[in-house]
Amino acid sequence: MSEISDRELEEIRRRKLLELQRNAAEEESKVDVQKKLELQKQALLRSILTSEARQRLTNLKMIKPDFISQLELQLIQLAQQGRVAVPLTDEQLKKILVQMQSRKREIRIRRR
């Protein structure tokens, strides 16, 4: 067996520390970008939706976060394309939600 010298050990430690610092910096930048995107999305939703409609989305997001995140992106796209009236009221949002739920496929399990 060969022993690792102090210099080699110190070099390994230094490389590992640099790698960890680099990974931490990359993760921090990803989090910053995600925060900026979320702030932009919320600003757009404030301009697209009435306060009641925003409150409804917030309440629903607690129950179905993935579904509502997808809906928020679709609403932003529709508003940017001019396909929905801005600001979108709570009643209009309810209709959109009903339409989206009716399009959702129902899964049935049959026992034999």
Q: pLDDT per residue over 64-96, tens digit each? A: 999 999 999 999 999 999 998 889 999 999 999
pLDDT of residue 58: 94
pLDDT of residue 1: 45
What 77-82 contacts at long range (C-beta under 8 Å, 24+ apart), as own/partner pairs, is 79/44, 79/48
> At 109, is the pLDDT very low, low, confident or very high (cuts 50, 70, 90)?
confident
d(CA 86, CA 84) in angstroms, rounded, equals 6
CATH fit for domain 6-103, picks 1.25.40.340, 1.10.8.140, 3.40.50.1000, 3.20.20.30: 1.10.8.140
Q: What is the pTM of this model?
A: 0.68
Q: What are phi and psi of 49, to 5 degrees?
A: -110, 150
